[in-house]
């Protein structure tokens, strides 16, 4: 199976991300940047929040999915697309495929949040459930490809996706040009690698920080050892951060990300509560991982300007972690 399309074989560069931005901007929201004095006080820094929770589909994933769909040939679009995803990429690809008039087959692990399954269905995606392991996901996707000829759009091991996700940081630095740090959550690494390419390309002195749960710390361990250290059984409330890096994303993260900061499950929930209570916006646990790195001061940035990508806002309101 071909992971990246033939017109997009390599790791993207800044210009590729700029092209992606021009390509997708008519189809996505330019999300606002918010500030909050009480969170600044907690962080000891001036925080700027890029609100991708207010993005279409409720997450940055629509950026990469829209870019990838736009780059398909007519013939590929007729065959339809397939992916495996715990949620936000699945919903985003379903919506982007519908925009192109293409079918979308979505392999989802059985433990994906019901709200994310409902979103896929609402956008017309066709769900196949599988066991929550990478092997089961890949086997189910392969079976669909053999049966339908659909084109694989991997959630992160795909340069079209990485270029699309990088457009969030591109916009962010247009809106807040003098950021000194940029924080993004890391799972498979599509957002973080795209962020690093865009941010370091535009502003080499900016420090790019990946934000990861202690309980799913493969990126942290991989960066320390210099080779991919997959996560076997991630056990974190951050349901969007349970995947592990791939070669393409790790090659970027190894070179251009300054640090991977870790947070505990308690810090994720506490940061999520802070953002909901003080900023009055809904973020999902994966986004709260980056907020937690900020409010629990995991990096030495006293008084500096720190950008935080709030990656998404899709949560099951019937299963919140706040009840005492």
Binding site for a second copy (CB under 8 A): 32, 53-54, 58, 115, 273, 276-277, 279-283, 313, 317-320, 322-324
Smaller CB separation from a second copy, 124 or 322 = 322
From 21, 85, 86, 222, active-site residue: 86
DSSP 72-140: S-HHHHHH-EEEE-SSHHHHHHHHHHHHHT--EEEEEETTS-HHHHHHHHHTT-EEEEE-SSHHHHHHH
Smaller CB separation from a second copy, 135 or 323 = 323
* CB of 38 vs a second copy, minimal distance in Å: 9
C-alpha angle with apex 129: 128 to 131, nearest 5 degrees? 140
**Which distant-in-sequence residues (6+ apart) come within 8 Å of 218 by Cβ?**
212, 228, 229, 230, 231, 234, 244, 245
Q: Could you count the other beta carbons within 10 Å of the beta carbon of residue 60?
A: 35
Smaller CB separation from a second copy, 193 or 286 = 286
Smaller CB separation from a second copy, 2 or 35 = 35
Residue 316, CA atoms < 13 Å, CB-side half-sphere: 15
What 8-state DSSP symbol labels residue 28?
A: S
Smaller CB separation from a second copy, 53 or 193 = 53
* CB of 315 vs a second copy, minimal distance in Å: 8
- Structure tokens belonging to residue 1: 């199976």
* CB of 23 vs a second copy, minimal distance in Å: 22
Q: Could you count the other beta carbons within 10 Å of the beta carbon of residue 128?
A: 15
* CB of 280 vs a second copy, minimal distance in Å: 4
C-alpha angle with apex 295: 290 to 300, nearest 5 degrees? 90
From 50, 56, 61, 200, active-site residue: 61
Q: Reply yes or no on whether 86 is catalytic.
A: yes
* CB of 283 vs a second copy, minimal distance in Å: 8
Q: How far is CA 119 from the centre of its chain?
A: 17
- The residues assigned a catalytic role are 61, 86
């Amino acid at each position: 199976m071909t992971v990246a399309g033939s017109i997009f074989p390599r790791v993207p560069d800044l210009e590729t991300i700029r092209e992606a931005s021009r390509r997708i901007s008519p189809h996505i929201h330019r999300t606002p940047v918010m500030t909050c004095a009480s969170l600044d006080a907690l962080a000891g820094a001036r925080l700027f929040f890029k609100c991708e929770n207010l993005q279409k589909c409720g997450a940055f994933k629509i950026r990469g999915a829209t870019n990838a769909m736009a780059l398909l040939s007519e013939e590929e679009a007729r065959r339809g697309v397939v992916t495996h995803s715990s949620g936000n990429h699945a919903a985003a690809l379903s919506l982007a495929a519908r925009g192109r008039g293409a079918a979308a087959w979505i392999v989802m692990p059985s433990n994906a949040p019901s709200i994310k399954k409902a979103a896929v269905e609402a956008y017309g995606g066709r769900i196949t459930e599988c066991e929550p392991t990478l092997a089961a996901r890949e086997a189910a996707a392969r079976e669909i490809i053999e049966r339908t000829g659909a084109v694989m759009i991997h959630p992160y091991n795909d340069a079209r996706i990485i270029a699309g996700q990088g457009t969030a940081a591109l916009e962010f630095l247009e809106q807040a040009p003098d950021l000194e740090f940029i924080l993004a959550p890391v799972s498979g690494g599509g957002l973080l690698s795209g962020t690093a390419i865009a941010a370091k390309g535009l502003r080499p002195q900016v420090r790019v920080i990946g934000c990861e749960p202690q309980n799913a710390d493969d990126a942290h361990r991989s960066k320390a050892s210099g080779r991919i250290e997959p996560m076997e059984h991630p056990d974190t409330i951050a349901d969007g951060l349970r995947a592990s890096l791939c070669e393409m994303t790790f090659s970027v993260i190894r070179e251009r990300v300054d640090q991977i900061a870790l947070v505990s499950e308690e810090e994720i929930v506490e940061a999520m509560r802070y953002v909901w209570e003080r900023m009055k916006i809904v973020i999902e646990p994966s986004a709260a991982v980056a907020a937690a790195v900020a409010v629990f001061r995991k990096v030495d940035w006293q008084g500096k300007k720190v950008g935080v990508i709030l990656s998404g806002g899709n949560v099951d309101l019937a299963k919140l972690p706040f009840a005492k």
